[in-house]
Structure 1
């Protein structure tokens, strides 16, 4: 059970990190939305991450000196630069980048555009990225960046100039590069911005043959990888699917362990929430509720995810989608509806002391970063609700970003070298089987069996294997240490990072 430490003073809030695609619903952070569920004394996301870390550190068997090194942020920069607006006025833009841990290189983390961005925010998310990468065995350190702007206020031309100038600042200060620091999309950014970043980096590093690997989340034609868009949502599905199979989870929740018997409510219908909903639905679960900024929608008989998404994209609201579905004027109320699996995939601090007693779900899967406060986490665990933590469950995005980085360094598309060879071997084997069985398969059957793995197949396979292994590793630590899954995930991350530091030694420490 997580032991809640002394409450620390409140500071600025942060919001969730997730991939943003221009074709999907945009997410916007509002301070009020991250306060409604929480009491004034509950800690911010940064303080929550530190509290979770400190709690797990006591059980990690890592030396005090190493723990202090892991907890601290390695490097941070704050840059300012002017941008000329269409009316001739000049505006000074403020940007940040934090590198939390360089025990592995490069460091990895998104860049967000939001008026809520500040140095403490990127510091908090950089810390979480370090632990997230370690939990899923992605050999990166953690980083995060942001520019303090509301992207809706600027033209495409202005956003390009802001992005390129920010990248130039990172280049000059050695805060970007395929072997140093590899950004990715986040709130307010997407493949377009990543293309601008890559092109700007290339102008400053003309001889770097690996320049495509300076950033991930790029369009396919710019070196992106198939499967990156849906990676985080797919990882959420894989993680919940695995936890449903654990006997101790079935005993605690009373669930059968079969996805087709589960009901799901999702808060947030952006990139992560939409794809998580799609994968739950396509694998037999019933999505009965979805919440977005303006309202929520609930139907115990189930919702058609694709039809709902198209309706919201066209109308900007769930209202008018169905006569039988209930519309919730307060979006946060969707969290309080009865369901088997609740997926907060929106902002941080959505479940706090003000509403934790109203949560009726049996499993809470954190698709967002920090949606549950420490006090609410403790209350859920006490009631037997299984909480699958953010640093494990939403790590699908960074996992597939790792695959994209590997693709860029290898300069070859996954599957290109072996697809036809695999098909040739399978065809010969199938011919032998058909001869001995005395039956010839149909053309459709043959294609299904013979089909060689393409890039998307390999990405999905790699992500699934990563999530299965990481969930089982977290489970084993939880059972061994008799702690909750969040504490277990942090323990695993701390021990892995500590092993790197202590195994290599820390030069000039003594």
Structure 2
């Protein structure tokens, strides 16, 4: 058996089922109910022809709705040659549990188109995107109250704007059409703060863990992020923003890993400078002052305090789990640790903050965008000026009583009303902190040994509660 096959003993979907089954042992719930929660409710596999150049190409695509316990369903759309049914089903299932944990009222979904956008012209990507959207509309797999896509690997604001425009053209009387998709440009109903939301959510979750003396003592670390040595694998949207926020908080980014290799500097790397180098050279390798590591997987095994895998699934497996030296692993990517590796890390006392909680920042802010589109009002529009006027009056009273003028710069900071991005980030921060403590409290009260199992138990309980309120289960 090849090393690749040894590392991937389980399919991606079976990894989620295994974690689900592990959590189910802590619940006294009828097996049939658990099977319903675990199963994907609807899998739409499609093939449609698109003219690329002078040839007709048949495109393979998917949309999976994992759970209808709450509607609409919610999940991104990825463009990749590796897209397959197992992957999309798994990601849809993860979305269900993520939404339950952070109390976002969506069922999980996911979509994907099997193609390499880097080999296609913008015109052809648009053509495929619009045709895919029309296929979703035909089968009622998209709509503000049905199923709301978002960006994922290989997609972004551009593709979401095409989806919205296609939906609007085919559903011209839909007054809430803006809410059919999230991750749109600001000019088309997008919300400020969406782009960095997942990475910022990762930062908030790890920061909250590092504030707890008991948890830090268990792994021999001091409280706080300042001075913590951090390794981040993957400098895509999530990894880049996570790295930036950790760096700004005083953590030391000692290594960054990408497909072509990794760079290491024990004194720390400036993330902005690395990105500038990457844009100029096309690679993070040969960054001034850093040591190259040819095998990107070896970067995961370097001595550090916090490891953030933010790229691919199954990068930590049974063959390298014992070599991981990090005290804390934050799963910014989906499924970066196999079930076998998870057990090894648990026995070694490594704290793993699971993906179904930690990377839920994206869907949380997508929820804010969806609400904004349904309300047809920008966040902060109605209260910003009122808050500023009230603060101005309060400051005037304070200056009168104290007989002292407040400095101009301080006054400017106090007077400023909340902008949309301030409200979005505040909501995200509160969501991530609240979700973390709910999982941690359940873990402590039940005697569950790791956060992943506790997170699954918490999610399953929330989903069952929703079904019971709907009167579906006796």
What's the TM-score bracket when you normalise by the shorter of the two chains? over 0.9
Asked whether the 8 Å contact 1:66–1:502 carries over to 2, the reply is no
From 277, 280, 285, the equivalent of 1:319 is 285
Q: What number of residue pairs does the alignment pair up?
A: 473
Q: Which residue of 2 aligns with 1:14?
A: none
CA contact (8 A) 2:234 2:256 kept: yes
The equivalent residue for 2:401 is 436
**Alignment equivalent of 2:250, drawn from 278, 284, 293:** 284
* Matched residue, 1:243: 209
Match of 2:198 among 212, 222, 232: 232
Determine which of 460, 464, 474 is the counterpart of 1:494.
Answer: 460
Provide the rounded CA distance (Å) in 2 between the counterparts of 1:190 and 1:154. 16
Matched, 1:159 2:159: no
Partner of 1:469: 434
8 Å contact kept, 1:48–1:374: yes
2:339 to 374, 380, 384: 374
Matched, 1:44 2:8: no
- Give 1:254 deviation, angstroms: 1.3
User: In the aligned structure 2, how far is the partner of 1:186 from the partner of 1:274?
Assistant: 15
* Unaligned stretches of 5+ residues in structure 1: 1-9, 11-31
User: How do 1:446-465 and structure 2 match up within 5 A?
Assistant: 446-465=411-430
For normalisation by structure 2, the TM-score amounts to 0.98
1:320: Cα distance to partner?
A: 2.8
Pair 1:370–1:40, CA change in 2 (3 A): closer
Equivalent-residue separation in structure 1 for 2:7 and 2:391 (angstroms)? 62
- What's the CA shift string for 1:42-62, capped at 9, x where partnerless? 212211100000111121333
Q: TM-score, normalised by structure 1?
A: 0.91
CA contact (8 A) 1:368 1:394 kept: yes
| Aligned residue in 2 for 1:78 | 45
1:191 aligns with 2:157: yes
Q: Does 1:363 align with 2:328?
A: yes
Q: Does 2:25 correspond to 1:58? A: yes
- Quote the Cα distance in structure 2 between the aligned partners of 1:68 and 1:273: 34
Report the 3-state secondary structure (helix = DSSP H, G, I; strand = E; otherwise coil) of the residue aligned with 1:39: helix
Q: 1:310 & 1:102 partners in 2: Cα distance?
A: 44
Gaps of 5+ in 2: none
- Give the conservation status (yes or no) of the 8 Å contact 2:7–2:314: no
Change (3 A) 1:54 1:83: same
CA contact (8 A) 2:12 2:86 kept: no
- Give secondary structure in 1 for the equivalent of 2:226: helix
Q: Which residue of 2 aligns with 1:149?
A: 115
- Aligned match of 2:64: 98
- Per-residue CA shift, 1:341-392, capped at 9, x if unaligned? 0000010000001111110000000000000011111111111110000000
Q: Which residue number in structure 2 is paired with residue 3 of structure 1?
A: none
Match of 1:126 in 2: 92
Give CA-to-partner distance per residue, 1:17-56, whole Å, 9 cap, x none.
xxxxxxxxxxxxxxx9xx75x7256212211100000111
Alpha-carbon distance in 2 for matches of 1:123, 1:364: 25
Candidates 217, 223, 235, aligned match of 1:269: 235
- Contact (CA 8 Å) 1:299, 1:326: kept in 2 or not? yes
Q: Which residue of the partner structure matches residue 254 of structure 1?
A: 220
Aligned to 1:423: 388
Contact kept, 8 Å, 2:313 with 2:333, in 1: the verdict is: yes
Instruction: Give yes or no for contact 2:74–2:108 (8 Å, CA) kept in 1.
Output: yes
Q: How far apart in 2 are the matches of 1:354 and 1:334? A: 15
